[in-house]
Amino acid sequence: MAVPLIFNTIEQTALSTWLRESTSVFGFYFILLFHTIGMSLVVGASAVVDLRILGIASALPLKPLKRLFTIMWVGLALNVTTGLFLLTAYPTKALTNPDFYIKLSFIALAVITMRKMSIQVFDDASLDEMAMIAKGKAMAAWSLVFWVGAVSAGRLLSETSKYVLYGHLWGS
């Protein structure tokens, strides 16, 4: 399958070129840093809620953990934003790599689970703690699986990409 020409167009833009080539510490790695921080916020907060529902630190009241969802959404927003910048820098590299779509799928599943848990477990004031745990247990376990999948697929991106840039295979 031919690589769409639009990737080349994006790579030629000033922003994309600057992100890749700037030697400033506020260039590519600055974006990557905030992508990592966003990840630690969204996955870290999710993991704590999931572990609590699965029985860790069971003396911790569950209801106030609802506020952790704000941290999760902030982390997610940060990562969507920084992710778009990273994609602007290397569109061919990401979008020709099947692993990139695996990563996005894991993130989509994790975020759907997160939202479902927020609405069905934490927003329902009629549930007591026991009922919240009963309802949330499977979601919590899946959430952990999806996030581990997303992080793993993310780390694998650099090892699995075929192209560096439009028309440039790795090592050519």
- Chain residues that interact with another protein, rule: CB under 8 A: 25, 28-29, 32-33, 36-37, 39-41, 43-45, 47-48, 51, 56-61, 64-65, 67-68, 147-148, 151-152, 154-156, 159
**φ, ψ dihedrals at 157, nearest 5°:** -55, -50
Q: Least distance to another protein from the beta carbon of 73, Å?
A: 15
By beta-carbon proximity to another protein, the closer residue of 12 and 128 is 128
By beta-carbon proximity to another protein, the closer residue of 151 and 164 is 151
Q: What is the rounded distance in angstroms from the CA atom of residue 60 to the CA atom of residue 56?
A: 9
Per DSSP (E only), the strands in the chain are 163-165, 168-169
Please name the helix (run of DSSP H) or strand (run of DSSP E) that holds residue 115, with its range, or none: helix 98-117
By beta-carbon proximity to another protein, the closer residue of 3 and 48 is 48
Q: What is the rounded distance in angstroms from the CA atom of residue 121 to the CA atom of residue 132?
A: 5
Q: Least distance to another protein from the beta carbon of 65, Å?
A: 8
Q: Least distance to another protein from the beta carbon of 160, Å?
A: 9
Q: Least distance to another protein from the beta carbon of 151, Å?
A: 5
What would the DSSP string read from start to end of 140-169? HHHHHHHHHHHHHHHHHHHHH-SEEETTEE
Q: What is the rounded distance in angstroms from the CA atom of residue 89 to the CA atom of residue 7?
A: 10
The token pair that represents 117 in the structure block: 């848990």
By beta-carbon proximity to another protein, the closer residue of 9 and 63 is 63
By beta-carbon proximity to another protein, the closer residue of 7 and 132 is 132
